[in-house]
Structure 1
Amino acid sequence: MVLTTRSSRLIGALVMSTLSAGVAAQGKTLTADDYARAERFVGYNTTPLVDHAVHGVTWLDNDHFWYRDHDARGDRYLRFDTATGKTEAAFDQARLAKALGKLLDKPVDANKLGLTNFGVMADGRLDVNLRGKHYLCELRATTVCTAGKDDNAEGVGSEPGVLSPDKRSEAFVRDWNLWVRDVATGKETELTLDGVENFGYATDNAGWKHSNKAILVWSPDSKHIATFQQDQRKTGDMVLVGTNVGHPKVEKWKYPLVGDKDVTMIERVIVGVDSHKVLRLKMPPDQHRSTLCDDVSCGRDGGWDDVQWAPDARTLAFVSSSRDHKQAWFRVADAATGEVRTVFDESVPTYYESGDGKVNWQYLPGSNEVVWFSERNNWGNLYLYDLGTGKLKHAITTGEGNVTEVLRLDPKTRTLWFRGVGRQQGVDPYYQQFYKVSLDGGEPTLLAPEPADHTITLSPDGRLFADAYSTPTTPSITVLRSADDGHVVNSIAKADIARLSATGWQPPEPFTVRARDGKTTLYGLMFKPTHFDPSKKYPIVDYVYPGPQTGSVGTRSFNPARVDHQALAELGFIVVAIDGMGTPGRSKAFHDAYFGNIGDNTLPDQVAALKELGRQHAWIDLDRVGIWGHSGGGNATADAMFRYPDFFKVGIAESGNHDNRNYEDDWAEKWQGLLVTDKDGKSNYDDQANQSHAADLKGHLLLAHGTMDDNVPPYETLLVVDALIKANKDFDLLLIPNAHHAYGAAANYMMRKRWDYFVRNLAGDTPPREYTMKPPKD
């Protein structure tokens, strides 16, 4: 039989199709037991198996702190006496559990209280934070708990407050006005009267973040409050519609977008607590920007870190930022007259930041000085300015490496204590270490010398500090040290991972590779199956978060479960996380790598790194590369599937901000710049929009989003969906009704779907049908 060329090609295609089908058919069928073994390495199963891991302490006074100690028996809340080195119970856990159980009308296990924090009120009551909710508990003769105030509490009398320095009052927002509540009596007083809808006092609304918290700074004498009247009257709305039977529930709030002519502005004020007078600072309205991140309500405690009172409360220092974050002005206001003086300013080509994790500038009116943070020499260093003239006096720290967080400054001894990275040769440049330095300059003194990541908690008087240090592969050791020379005063705890190791758990493997330029060193973590066989070929999954405000790897402290990386690896994958260029922690040039081009998403670095790993390890199969991420990582994942369609075969893009013109204004305007549109209608934001590249999709893509996501609105994903449909592309979509950004109760369902998608489409295996994740019950 003679075959024509056309028939030969047809038969050849049929043979190849059959072979491909045969390869897929040869894949394994995973069982529920396989998934259960992987689930053993999810955080809710691994974290409880780490004993005596004390990552931080809470100081009660200069000589005592409390911490949570955990082991197989449960949790114990301990009070440590620094003078004696002895511990005792911080409170009667059994009585507290009984009181909470009575209030909640359900049993509460004294050994599994699950407190995330507690504090002592001025009247002796405990302010207990239990799974995100506050309770006030009287632990004297009769133990009684009452419901406290939560950040998003609704209803008159339930508004969350900001406690005054003397702990006698708390300030809160009600009906767009500022109020104070007497802690002892509960008496409430309205301080402002002219707050109206969308022009209220101390309101917390960045667009992507909106809560009932009050954003303000009390004066040291508890007599005045620095805050603002936030003008959102011209700001555009965001609208989300719930899913329910009957008329849908509509959520609507102010959400400024990139390029909007009118964005949220703040008018700075000082409010007298006794006089009820509002002093409006004599300056134009300011941008709702931070020198650290996005909105003014920034920082580790969600407060207003760019504002500092003088110790005598006569003046108020603050920093204003331009809309594009390229300029910052250091200003001082007279608290009696409202007069404002600009002391100095700094302008940069890209964006100004005052630290990495904390606003680092310090106001020193006593010596007529200002400590200022700048990356002017390509590294984050501290500089001393003259408060009167605004002139630079000298550099406090110099050279390579970054000051990340100024934790204390003593004006009397002219000594400053700070966390820093990259300052010690031969130490991982992401490890946070702890130093002190003189304001008059000189070499900083290293107070926490171990080559590890150090979490520092200083005593109120600054004499001592708790130091919890660890690495991604070694669990934490927590000690009490002298802030003078760093010597160890007492041991606090040493983490024990024996129970964790007994499950077969293994730590991730740190690695280094080269960036896109072939020169710059990148750092990452690799996760292998516990049953790893080097003679096999494994598909590789890249977990990505492109920054620019953070990276893929996350903390360098010990963590028994980083997302679900080890669990996913257990299903037959190599999983990696790599901090590409454009993420923080390194030099300014490194961080600026793709400024103005956020569609880059570190992807050239991810591809270069993965290819290098493939060359180094024969057991990595670069023909089967997957990628996934959430939020910014969701953006990067879809971007990777569109821009590198022949390299990335499977992607899962969760809650992605796929076009930053549809995201809250001050995030993208910081990293991409202000929106500029040409006469022909083209703009500097066109290329970053994922829907513009959707037609290039070749592989398997799963898009996921919560329909009530008030951080990244679901319309971001629908823009990509629309483009994929118009391009006639196959893809998968999961919309989670009524879920917010992190999916809430559906998060474990999403995790299982993620496993299924990679197992089926990247490994060529068959997942068990509808495996049920089994997190422990409260």
Structure 2
Amino acid sequence: MKHMKFSIYVCLFVTTILSAQKSSITLEDIWKDGTFRTERMDALHSMKNGQQYSVLNFDRETRSTSIDIYDYKTLEKVKTLVSSSNLEAIPYFTNYTFSKDEQQVILATNEEAIYRHSALGNYYIYNVKNGGLDLISEEKIQEPTLSPDGNKVAFARENNLYVKDLITNEIMQITSDGEKNEIINGITDWVYEEEFAFVRAFDWNADSNKIAFIRFDETNVPEFSMDVYGTELYQTQQVFKYPKAGEANSEVSLHIYDLNTKQTNEVKVDKVYEDFYIPRIEWTNNPDVLSAQYMNRHQNELDLWMINAKANTSNLVLAEKDKAYIDVTDNLTFLKDNSFIWTSEKDGFNHIYHYDKKGNLINQITKGNWEVTNYYGYDEKNNTIFYQSVENGTINRDVYSIKLNGRNKKRLTKSDGTNNASFSADFSFFINTFSSATTPPEYTLNSSTSGNLIKSIKDNDKLAQKLSDYKTSKKEFSTINVNGNDLNMWMIKPVNFDANKKHPLLMYQYSGPGSQQVANRWNSANDYWYQHLAQEGYIVVCIDGRGTGFKGAEFKKVTQNELGKYEVEDQIAAAKQLGELPYVDASRMGIWGWSYGGFMSSNCLFKGNDVFKMAIAVAPVSSWRFYDSIYTERYMTTPQENESGYDDNSPINHVDKLKGDFLLVHGSGDDNVHLQNTMRLAEALIQADKQFDWAVYPDKNHGIYGGNTRLHLYKKMTNFIHETLGDKIEKEESTPVINEVKIKG
């Protein structure tokens, strides 16, 4: 156990085992029957009066959906605002959006996904006062957005922007040059949607008379095509523009449409950009001033511009630079005087800053060797900011308040675990969603002043009680010192764990930049799978190595230009240390991961062929040359600039080192990490005369789900683990591990 240091600081996973007569968790329980599904609060919206909130509810008996209004103080339902059971035109709706005055609601139905975040659908406007219901457009549209005055709605259709006057019902077309795979107006292209995480690239000003929008010219972006096999005699193809690393991006431009003059003007800022992004636009409180963020292609320079649409001038108010990269967020908040709140890693940790409208720093609001992980908003009345951070340990999340001047900081949440707040419109209350490794999600109403509990709203005690009937093992949190760093780790041991016997070990990791898998929160479906594997005699471990998040910029950005180097070194070194434990069978250790994790598990098996006996790679990147421009270049610059960084750490170039068992899985309809990655890796393995197992799921995207798909996939992976690691597992019974679950009451 040389060079090994463990420090246990959180313990216990779930449930109480009082006798050996417990049920085993089956794969059908997890991926077919939904046995461990949690209760949630869907589409929560705080009403502007600050005293009520709305929730989207589904009635199983009538198969209808409704928007129900609840009182914060009593938590009792005040009324049903609208129910699809009373609407002949809409048998159900899946989402809703209020106008600013809450007198109109956009109801979404018949939505069909385009990519990860985007969708086409039929959208209706419901009038709260008179119960009227109007279809916005006969054709399916994207991103309908009500104007602040509630009299108009803007939307996108077939790559063009439109505005509908809700008083006259007149539809006005703002742009006319939109064309598939060439020009997009007001909606992001594929790579912006995926990597900058937004779809609606247009915004109303405060006076409802101007719309700013981004235009994407993707004419020169190379096309990618995927076969769609479907059920017809001949397959079809999905063809879309996808800029891979180093290839041409969309040429973007910013425009402002004036509804009074019916004129569109292109915005020109006072700086020449050769190859750039516009990852965010947002009107300020001044109806003539638009904010726009411009970023260079390397993504290590971010400029915040204030554009005066009336005077046709631009002012650069903030210019951030970083040696590695800058993350784009949605945290920009304008105060009444147009001073603004901003978050930045410029002091080495993500913190909150206050600037005046000209970009002069007023003060740094939060400080310390810890990260702000969520910014909730600013309470103008009480001059208070609310945020979430990891100040109480990097695996935990707590909600805090702090004055705008950086004083009087308060921790508002009391329990160690993952806390996330949804505040009332006037910031007098917040609904806290709390979970931990021992407590399933519970929703409570809390005071924003003290954080004190006012009332419980919803819990998952029934799920906790149900789990008490199953065999489960505790999830143990600790740290392990690897390559000079204390890395967060969790471990799940077999139910019948015997420290005097050697057990096979499976490692799970993701390891992508800024990510986190070791967190004190309630289990996902995969966690139940790990419990299933623990029942079968396996130890399951997860370690967040260098490059992962919430430990400061230096720890996160050490992998810059070398994705897959330090992360792989940490997983291999950690596995070697774990293999020295007396209860781990070092000859039977495996690793698995999905997406970036599949890239990692492949590399670990190839480069760590003396450590890992097997690996499973699901939807892996096999070479960063195959992945998209924005994500890849953020961490690697371009292949033309960093040839060795791309090639030295890509699994496709290390297939000759394969000694163990390898399972490779992909969906043929993966628009994100293309099947090309697996096909090229498979061909490299074949030419290197390396045997491997693989599976391709027809027409399935990056998530590989739908119908029986997930169950089939996890059966395949489970069987592969048994075949490669489980040949010597002793199945004899022994005294079960005693764990506990937190059940209120």
Partner of 2:310 in structure 1? 336
Picking from 20, 34, 50, the partner of 1:45 is: 34
Q: Does 2:608 match 1:608?
A: no
Q: How does 1:618-637 map to 2 (within 5 A)?
A: 618-637=582-601
Picking from 211, 214, 237, the partner of 1:250 is: 237
Q: What is the identity, as a one-letter code, of the residue corresponding to 1:242?
A: V
Q: Quote how far apart the aligned CAs of 1:625 are.
A: 1.1
Matched residues in 1 for 2:405 and 2:446: separation? 24
Whether the 8 Å CA contact 2:389–2:398 is kept in 1: the answer is yes
Partner of 2:717 in structure 1? 754
Matched residues in 2 for 1:589 and 1:138: separation? 50
Q: What is the identity, as a one-letter code, of the residue corresponding to 1:381?
A: H
Picking from 159, 183, 201, the partner of 1:199 is: 183
Q: How does 1:216-615 map to 2 (within 5 A)?
A: 216-243=202-229, 246-260=233-247, 262-283=248-269, 289=277, 296=279, 306-354=280-328, 358-364=329-335, 366-367=336-337, 369-388=339-358, 390-411=359-380, 413-421=382-390, 423=391, 427-496=392-461, 497-504=463-470, 506=472, 508-518=474-484, 520-553=485-518, 556-559=520-523, 561-562=525-526, 564-600=529-565, 602-615=567-580
What's the TM-score once normalised by structure 2's chain length? 0.82
Matched residues in 1 for 2:69 and 2:639: separation? 54
Matched residues in 1 for 2:495 and 2:122: separation? 41
Whether the 8 Å CA contact 2:124–2:133 is kept in 1: the answer is yes
| Number of residues of Structure 1 aligned to a counterpart in Structure 2 | 685
Secondary structure of 1:489 counterpart = strand
The 1:540–1:164 alpha-carbon spacing in structure 2 relative to 1, beyond 3 Å, is farther
Matched residues in 2 for 1:453 and 1:744: separation? 27
Q: What is the identity, as a one-letter code, of the residue corresponding to 1:516?
A: V
Whether the 8 Å CA contact 1:47–1:560 is kept in 2: the answer is no
Whether the 8 Å CA contact 1:43–1:560 is kept in 2: the answer is no
Whether the 8 Å CA contact 1:309–1:317 is kept in 2: the answer is yes
Matched residues in 2 for 1:314 and 1:135: separation? 30
Matched residues in 1 for 2:474 and 2:266: separation? 54
Whether the 8 Å CA contact 2:44–2:53 is kept in 1: the answer is yes
Matched residues in 2 for 1:96 and 1:310: separation? 36
Q: Quote how far apart the aligned CAs of 1:172 are.
A: 2.0
Partner of 1:9 in structure 2? none
Matched residues in 1 for 2:36 and 2:56: separation? 14
Q: Quote how far apart the aligned CAs of 1:246 are.
A: 4.2
Q: How does 1:101-250 map to 2 (within 5 A)?
A: 117-118=95-96, 127=107, 156-182=139-165, 187-197=170-180, 198-207=182-191, 209=193, 214-243=200-229, 246-250=233-237
Q: Quote how far apart the aligned CAs of 1:653 are.
A: 0.8
Whether the 8 Å CA contact 1:382–1:397 is kept in 2: the answer is yes
Q: Quote how far apart the aligned CAs of 1:140 are.
A: 10
Partner of 1:15 in structure 2? none
Q: What is the identity, as a one-letter code, of the residue corresponding to 2:244?
A: L
Q: Quote how far apart the aligned CAs of 1:161 are.
A: 1.9
Q: Quote how far apart the aligned CAs of 1:515 are.
A: 4.1
Gaps of 5+ in 2: 1-21, 113-120, 730-745
Q: Quote how far apart the aligned CAs of 1:180 are.
A: 1.9
The 1:761–1:169 alpha-carbon spacing in structure 2 relative to 1, beyond 3 Å, is farther
RMSD: 3.7
Q: Quote how far apart the aligned CAs of 1:323 are.
A: 0.8
What's the TM-score once normalised by structure 1's chain length? 0.79
Secondary structure of 1:45 counterpart = coil
| Greater shift in the superposed pair: 128-137 or 77-86 | 128-137
Q: Does 2:630 match 1:640?
A: no
Partner of 2:18 in structure 1? none
Whether the 8 Å CA contact 1:57–1:65 is kept in 2: the answer is yes
The 1:141–1:204 alpha-carbon spacing in structure 2 relative to 1, beyond 3 Å, is closer
Q: Quote how far apart the aligned CAs of 1:640 are.
A: 1.1
Matched residues in 2 for 1:212 and 1:467: separation? 26
Partner of 1:706 in structure 2? 667
Gaps of 5+ in 1: 1-32, 105-112, 150-154, 291-295, 297-305, 767-778
Q: Quote how far apart the aligned CAs of 1:320 are.
A: 1.4
Identical-pair percentage? 24
The 1:693–1:34 alpha-carbon spacing in structure 2 relative to 1, beyond 3 Å, is farther
Q: Quote how far apart the aligned CAs of 1:148 are.
A: 9.0
Q: Does 2:652 match 1:691?
A: yes
Partner of 1:649 in structure 2? 613
| Greater shift in the superposed pair: 570-579 or 720-729 | 570-579
Matched residues in 2 for 1:725 and 1:315: separation? 59
Q: Quote how far apart the aligned CAs of 1:530 are.
A: 4.0
Q: Quote how far apart the aligned CAs of 1:321 are.
A: 1.4
Q: Quote how far apart the aligned CAs of 1:401 are.
A: 1.1
Matched residues in 1 for 2:501 and 2:85: separation? 52
Matched residues in 2 for 1:608 and 1:394: separation? 42
Partner of 1:22 in structure 2? none
Whether the 8 Å CA contact 1:544–1:577 is kept in 2: the answer is yes
The 1:527–1:146 alpha-carbon spacing in structure 2 relative to 1, beyond 3 Å, is farther
* 1:140-175 per-position Cα deviation (integer Å, ceiling 9, x unaligned): 9999999999xxxxx934444233334443322224
* 1:602-639 per-position Cα deviation (integer Å, ceiling 9, x unaligned): 222223333444445x3332211111111111111111
Q: Quote how far apart the aligned CAs of 1:743 are.
A: 1.8
Higher relative contact order (CA 8 A, sep 6+): 2
Whether the 8 Å CA contact 1:159–1:213 is kept in 2: the answer is no
Q: How does 1:17-56 map to 2 (within 5 A)?
A: 37-42=26-31, 45-48=34-37, 50=38
* 1:16-41 per-position Cα deviation (integer Å, ceiling 9, x unaligned): xxxxxxxxxxxxxxxxx999734334
Secondary structure of 1:722 counterpart = helix
